[in-house]
């Protein structure tokens, strides 16, 4: 991770992000944590995973600087899961002041921050954003995987765990898993040591940047006047819908034309406080595994549907 810090014995290899999250939550539950803050809107199914670990998810609103730390303080959670490098799905970057406030919150409540290294490698406007874990290794448990940089089928990920949690996390892994594939780990080590992994990431960053430019141009042509945000990193962007156009109607009509998109409401957290957060109508447009022609076609279809909805 960028500017992360950990001793080798604090790195736990897992079979992907989701297994790492399950192990981390299991260790936290057994240490007495009862509530986990989740970004709202945020990545899908995390609320269900938290419940399966025996804890209660709490929805925490996200604004233009990332997770609202003041709102996190109110419910009394002692753990929080965040995507600071490129918030899922809004695309905002957690700013320096908000990062320091979040670390201060963790110290105040004797809590832990679970950092999802989401989209961190694919930044187009500047150098990749530094990790939260480097600010407070004793308060941040960092999770990463190869799902986006290589392929989802390569089931490898990692946790950088603090001294106080490494034992409980390793215990969770021993009781639930026989370990990650050794040959895959050795192959990855060769790629990293030879520099080929870094070269691959650079090539993919350029490929995704080109697709993001195509998406931005298509929106300017087929949906002029609409705001497209979150394009500075990652493989998706958010298209804000005009007043009076319903997310669900656009999603349903697009699917009828073989164009699959999700509304931001698809990412709402099913947990207390969720109803308090106002999330404007918008569409999440993915372009990571979509060719340029399909991007142009999809935005053309969406532009027509939205124009009809405004009429």
The pLDDT, as a whole number, for residue 152 is 82
Nearest of 138, 75, 74 to residue 103 by alpha carbon: 138
Mean pLDDT over 277-285 rounds to 82
Spatial separation of the C-alpha atoms in residues 309 and 311, rounded to whole Å: 6
pLDDT above 70 coverage of the chain, percent: 94
Q: How do residues 5-22 score in pLDDT, each as one tens digit? A: 778 888 999 988 999 999
Nearest of 237, 241, 230 to residue 306 by alpha carbon: 241
The pLDDT, as a whole number, for residue 277 is 55
What does the block give as tokens for 297?
């076609």
- For residues 181 and 152, the answer to whether their CB atoms sit within 8 Å is no
Evaluate if residue 256 carries a pLDDT over 70. Answer: yes
Residue position matching structure tokens 């999440």: 284
The pLDDT, as a whole number, for residue 2 is 62
Spatial separation of the C-alpha atoms in residues 91 and 237, rounded to whole Å: 7
Query: pLDDT band at residue 1, thresholds of 50, 70 and 90?
Result: low
Evaluate if residue 151 carries a pLDDT over 90. Answer: no
Let me know how long the chain is. 311
- For residues 197 and 188, the answer to whether their CB atoms sit within 8 Å is yes
Residue position matching structure tokens 């490098």: 85
pLDDT above 90 coverage of the chain, percent: 59
Mean pLDDT over 67-91 rounds to 91
Mean pLDDT over 281-290 rounds to 91
Separation of first and last alpha carbons in the chain: 48
The pLDDT, as a whole number, for residue 128 is 67
Residue predicted with more confidence, 155 or 130: 155
Evaluate if residue 61 carries a pLDDT over 60. Answer: yes
Its sign, for the CA torsion 88, 94, 98, 101, is positive
Q: How do residues 199-241 score in pLDDT, each as one tens digit? A: 999 999 999 999 999 999 999 999 998 999 988 888 899 999 9
The pLDDT, as a whole number, for residue 289 is 86
C-alpha angle 191-6-57 in degrees, rounded to nearest 5 = 100
- For residues 67 and 98, the answer to whether their CB atoms sit within 8 Å is yes
> Where are the strands (E) in the chain, listed by range?
11-14, 35-40, 56-63, 66-67, 79-82, 112-116, 140-145, 157-160, 228-229, 236-240, 262-263, 282-286
Spatial separation of the C-alpha atoms in residues 233 and 72, rounded to whole Å: 26
Evaluate if residue 272 carries a pLDDT over 80. Answer: no
- For residues 38 and 72, the answer to whether their CB atoms sit within 8 Å is no
The pLDDT, as a whole number, for residue 136 is 86
Spatial separation of the C-alpha atoms in residues 277 and 60, rounded to whole Å: 8
Please state, rounded to an integer, the average pLDDT across all residues of the chain.
Answer: 89
Q: How do residues 80-134 score in pLDDT, each as one tens digit? A: 999 998 899 998 989 899 999 999 999 999 999 999 987 777 877 766 677 888 7
Mean pLDDT over 254-266 rounds to 93
The pLDDT, as a whole number, for residue 311 is 46
What does the block give as tokens for 143?
């999770």
């Amino acid at each position: 991770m960028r500017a992360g810090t950990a001793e080798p014995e604090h790195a736990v290899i897992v079979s992907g992000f989701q297994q790492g999250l399950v192990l981390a939550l299991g260790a936290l539950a057994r240490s007495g944590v009862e509530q986990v803050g989740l970004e709202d809107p945020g990545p899908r199914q995390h609320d269900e995973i938290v419940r399966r670990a025996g804890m209660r998810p709490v929805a925490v609103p996200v604004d233009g600087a990332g997770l609202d730390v003041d709102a996190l303080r109110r419910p009394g959670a002692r753990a929080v899961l965040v995507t600071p490098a490129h918030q899922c799905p809004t695309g905002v970057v957690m700013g320096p002041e908000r990062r320091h406030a979040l670390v201060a919150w963790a110290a105040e409540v004797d809590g832990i921050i679970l950092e999802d290294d989401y989209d961190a490698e694919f930044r187009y406007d500047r150098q990749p954003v530094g990790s939260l874990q480097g600010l407070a290794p004793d308060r941040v448990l960092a999770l990463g995987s190869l799902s986006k940089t290589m392929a989802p089928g390569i089931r490898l990920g990692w946790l950088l765990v603090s001294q106080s949690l490494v034992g409980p996390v390793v215990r969770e892994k021993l009781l639930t898993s026989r370990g990650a594939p050794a040959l895959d780990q050795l192959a990855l080590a060769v790629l990293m040591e030879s520099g080929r992994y870094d070269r691959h990431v650079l090539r993919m960053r350029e490929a995704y940047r080109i697709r993001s430019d195509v998406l931005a141009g298509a929106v300017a042509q087929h949906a002029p006047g609409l705001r497209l945000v979150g394009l500075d990193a990652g493989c998706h962007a958010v298209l804000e819908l005009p007043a009076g156009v319903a997310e669900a109607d656009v999603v349903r009509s697009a699917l009828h034309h073989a164009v699959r998109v999700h509304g931001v409401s698809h990412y709402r957290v099913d947990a207390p406080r969720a109803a308090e957060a106002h999330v404007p109508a918008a569409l999440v447009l993915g372009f990571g595994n979509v060719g340029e022609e399909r991007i142009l076609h999809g935005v053309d279809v969406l532009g027509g549907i939205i124009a009809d909805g405004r009429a």
